[in-house]
Amino acid sequence: MITRIAIDLDDVLADFTLATLSHKLNRKVVAADYDPEWGFDIVRAYNTLQVPGVEKETVQSFWESIGRDDWENLERLPDSAWLIQRCAELVGNENVCILTAPTEDPECMAGKLEWIQSNMPRWIRRNFLVGPMKHFCAKGDTLLIDDSSKNVDMFRRWGGSAMLVPKPWNSAHADFRSIQQIFRDDLR
């Protein structure tokens, strides 16, 4: 039985990948533009989508170009309010937590914290954990909701339950269900 739920921030609650690509490329990038072959590699996606003749970004230069304001001003995904509310209904406010893995730039974490403060209901604004080791929170009664196949697989290996949110960069890329439909189907 699930008694705790951990929710990833980027691309589950906030529109990071497609919005960042759109911003950096100066044009709208949609899910259909993202080749599943690129996997969880936004730098490869950016370099492939970039117009010919423009210098390619390195991993370092790409991530250094994303500042605190970029993290703070991400748009909420359409189902994020519903997701937070539904999770609270299932397990109670005190048992819902946002998990997020920042880049190595301290400004990233500051921007993410500001995003949480500006976009989430008051009750969850202090319910967050930061770090790349999401699997460390895995337990038999804990559900992780994430867009990273790697995070979901690791969380399951460590004894937790996990729900993979379909995105073009993960193994569920061919699943076109909404998060609401996934909840109805998977958490009966």
Domain range for residue 51?
17-71
Q: Are residues 116 and 178 in the same domain?
A: yes
pLDDT at 26 over 80: yes
Threshold 0.85, pTM exceeds: yes
The pLDDT tens digits of the residues spanning 133-170 come to: 999 999 999 999 999 999 999 999 999 999 999 999 99
Percent of the chain exceeding pLDDT 90 equals 87
Q: Are residues 155 and 65 in the same domain?
A: no
Residue 155 backbone phi and psi in degrees, to 5:
-60, -45
Query: 115: closest CA among 164, 80, 162, 88?
Result: 80
| Cα–Cα distance, 123 to 54 (Å, whole number) | 45
Q: Are residues 66 and 8 in the same domain?
A: no
The pLDDT tens digits of the residues spanning 36-56 come to: 999 999 999 999 999 888 889
pLDDT at 109 over 80: yes
Q: Are residues 149 and 180 in the same domain?
A: yes
pLDDT score of 84: 96
Q: Are residues 83 and 66 in the same domain?
A: no
pLDDT score of 181: 83
Residue with tokens 């994430």: 146
pLDDT score of 167: 95
pLDDT score of 177: 79
H or E segment at 181? helix 179-186
User: Parallel, antiparallel, or unpaired: how do β-strands 14-15 and 75-76 relate?
Assistant: antiparallel
Q: Are residues 35 and 82 in the same domain?
A: no
Residue 121 backbone phi and psi in degrees, to 5:
-60, 150
pLDDT score of 175: 84
DSSP string for 78-100: TTHHHHHHHHHHHH-GGGEEEEE
pLDDT score of 188: 57
Q: Are residues 79 and 63 in the same domain?
A: no
DSSP string for 125-164: TT-EEESS-GGGG--TTEEEEES-HHHHHHHHHTT-EEEE
- In the chain, the number of structural domains is 2
| Cα–Cα distance, 84 to 92 (Å, whole number) | 10
Which domain-ending residue is among 55, 71, 87? 71
Residue with tokens 């072959």: 37
Question: Residue 96 belongs to a domain with what CATH number?
Answer: 3.40.50.1000
Q: Are residues 82 and 67 in the same domain?
A: no
Q: Are residues 47 and 31 in the same domain?
A: yes
